[in-house]
Amino acid sequence: MNRKMSIGVFGWLGMVWLLLMFVLPVAWVVRGGFFVEGRFTIRYLLYVFRNPIYYEGLRNSLGIAIGTTLTAMVPALTLAWVAHRFEFRGKRVLTALALMPMVLPPFVGVIGFQQMLGAYGVLNTLMGWGAIDWLGQGRVWGVILLQALGLYPILYLNAAAALANVDPAMEEAAANLGAGGWRRFRNITLPLMAPGLFAGGTIVFIWSFTELGTPLMLNYTRCVSVQIYDALMDIGSSPFPYALVSVTLAASLFLYAMGKWRFGRHAHAMQSKAGTGHAPRYVTGGAAALAALPFVLVSLIALLPHLGVILTSFSRAGSWYGTVLPAEWTSEHYQHALGHSMTLGAIRNSLLFSSLAVLLNLVLGVGMAFAIVRSRSRWRHSLDVLAMLPLAVPGLIMAFGYLALSAYLANLGWVKESTLWSSIFDIRINPTFFLVTAYAVRRLPYMIRAAVAGLQQTAEVYEEAAANLGARPLTAARRIVLPLISANLIAGAVLAFSFCMLEVSDSLMLAQRADYYPITKAIYELSQMIGTGRFLASALGVWAMVFLAATLVGATLLLGKRLGALFRV
Partner 1 sequence: MGASVRIEKLTKRFDRLAAVNDVTLDVAAGEIFFLLGPSGCGKTTLLRCLAGFYTPESGRIFMSGEDITHVPPERRDASMVFQSYALWPHMTVCRNVEFGLAMRKVPARERTRLALDALRRVRMEDYAGRRPAQLSGGQQQRVALARALVVEPRCLLLDEPLSNLDAKLRLEMRLEIRRLCRAAGLTALYVTHDQKEAMSIADRLAVMRDGVLEQVGTPQDVYRRPVNPFVAGFMGETNLLPGRLTAAVNDGVAQVDTVAGQLTGVWSGSGAPPATRAAVTLSIRPECLRLAGERDPAVGNRLSGRVEETVFLGETVQYRVRIHGVNGDPVHVRVLESNPERLRSVGDPVTLSARHGESLILLGSD
Nearer to partner 1, 177 or 461 (CB): 461
Nearer to partner 1, 371 or 466 (CB): 466
Q: Say whether residue 461 binds partner 1 (CB under 8 A).
A: yes
Q: Say whether residue 490 binds partner 1 (CB under 8 A).
A: no
* Cβ(150)–Cβ(211) below 8 Å: no
b/e map of 244-260 (b: 16 or more CB within 10 Å)?
bbbbbbebbbebbeebb
Q: Say whether residue 257 binds partner 1 (CB under 8 A).
A: no
Nearer to partner 1, 94 or 466 (CB): 466
Which residues ranging from 2 to 21 are in contact with partner 1 (CB under 8 A)? 2-3
List, in order, residues 6 or more apart from 210 with CB less than 8 Å away: 61, 224, 225, 248, 252, 394, 395, 396, 397, 505
The span of 103-111, 221-229, 457-465, 544-552 binding partner 1 (CB under 8 A) equals 457-465
**Number of residues binding to partner 1, judged by CB under 8 A:** 21
The span of 65-73, 120-128, 386-394, 480-488 binding partner 1 (CB under 8 A) equals 480-488
Q: Say whether residue 469 binds partner 1 (CB under 8 A).
A: yes
Q: Say whether residue 70 binds partner 1 (CB under 8 A).
A: no
How many Cα neighbours within 13 Å face the side chain of 172? 10
Nearer to partner 1, 200 or 454 (CB): 454
The span of 77-85, 204-212, 401-409, 455-463 binding partner 1 (CB under 8 A) equals 455-463
Q: Say whether residue 373 binds partner 1 (CB under 8 A).
A: no
List, in order, residues 6 or more apart from 451 with CB less than 8 Å away: 365, 366, 368, 369, 370, 485, 488, 489, 492
Among 90, 181, 322, 483, binds partner 1 (CB under 8 A): 483
Q: Say whether residue 474 binds partner 1 (CB under 8 A).
A: no
Among 428, 479, 513, 561, binds partner 1 (CB under 8 A): 479
Pairwise CA distance, residues 540 & 141, whole Å: 26
Pairwise CA distance, residues 365 & 467, whole Å: 23
Q: Say whether residue 464 binds partner 1 (CB under 8 A).
A: yes
**What does 167-193 look like in DSSP terms, one character per residue?**
-HHHHHHHHHTT--HHHHIIIIIHHHH
Helix (H) or strand (E) holding 535, with range, is helix 533-559
Nearer to partner 1, 195 or 473 (CB): 473
Among 466, 491, 493, 555, binds partner 1 (CB under 8 A): 466
Q: Say whether residue 468 binds partner 1 (CB under 8 A).
A: yes
Give the number of other Cβ atoms within 10 Å of residue 190's Cβ.
17
Pairwise CA distance, residues 300 & 482, whole Å: 40
Nearer to partner 1, 42 or 459 (CB): 459
Pairwise CA distance, residues 410 & 405, whole Å: 8
